[in-house]
Amino acid sequence: MNIADLRKSYEKAELSESASQADPLKQFDQWLTEAIHSEVPEPNAMTLATVGANLRPSTRVVLIKGYDEQGIVWYTNYQSQKGRELAGNPYAALQFHWVELERVVRIEGLVEKVSAEESDAYFKSRPLDSRIGAWASPQSEVIDSRTVLVTNAAKYGAQFLLQPPRPPHWGGYRLKPDNWQFWQGRKSRLHDRLRYTLQGDGSWLRERLAP
């Protein structure tokens, strides 16, 4: 097998200016809803890109937990690599890739922490094992073995029983978009690609980009 010979013809749908939403949030809501209803694997998974103090970008997959006019929300460990990088450079990018629908959504903007009240409310909704895990894992730190995680989980499980509080180092982030791109695969690599750019008056400029 020659990996350079792997190709796919994209022919499922199209994305036109007349058929797309003028508001990118509404277009995102439409596509995410369609991805969920299509039962694609983990439609809520998104790649988060941040840049560290050394100017090197890094990516990881996180799960979207909410979205509205204020932005896109996810939750994580504030002391993780992504947390440290966002503390130094609060701009980030997100990407959804729904392979089965031949669609990609790219989102860029400023990131801020959600309120403590929002983080508390979401933390309480998580399964007990996940709440204990937030205490047990020193995310992005070097550990000797998996035994460290298992031991920590047992320790915090015994300490907190059924009511672990939200760790002070754990909570939500919200990306406030100022740039969206919607990509729909098309035949012959002549893909549809629409960009929405936030204007000074709060409106969105929609433009077609060459693929």
Task: Tell me what the mean pLDDT of segment 198-202 comes to.
Answer: 97
pLDDT, averaged across the chain = 97
Q: Confirm whether 189 is a catalytic residue.
A: yes
Place of tokens 């047990």: 136
In sequence order, what are the beta bridge partners of 112? Answer: 174
pLDDT at 7: 85
Q: Which of 60, 189, 193, 195 is catalytic?
A: 189
Model confidence over 27-67: pLDDT tens digits?
999 999 999 999 999 999 999 999 999 999 999 999 999 99
Distance between CA atoms of 197 and 203, rounded to whole angstroms?
Answer: 8
User: CB–CB of 8/192 below 8 Å?
Assistant: no
Distance between CA atoms of 31 and 25, rounded to whole angstroms?
Answer: 10
Higher pLDDT residue, 115 or 6?
A: 115
Q: Characterize the bridge pairing of strands 91-98 and 71-77.
A: unpaired
- Does the structure show a pLDDT above 90 at 5? no
pLDDT at 1: 84
pLDDT at 149: 97
Centre a 10 Å sphere on the Cβ of residue 150 and count the other Cβ atoms it contains.
11
Task: Give how far Cα 81 sits from Cα of 48, 62, 77, 95, Å.
Answer: 12, 13, 9, 18
Model confidence over 181-190: pLDDT tens digits?
999 999 999 9
Distance between CA atoms of 21 and 29, rounded to whole angstroms?
Answer: 10
pTM, full prediction:
0.94
Helices (H), 100-171: 116-125, 128-136, 146-160
Q: Characterize the bridge pairing of strands 57-63 and 170-184.
A: unpaired
Structure letter (DSSP) for residue 166: P
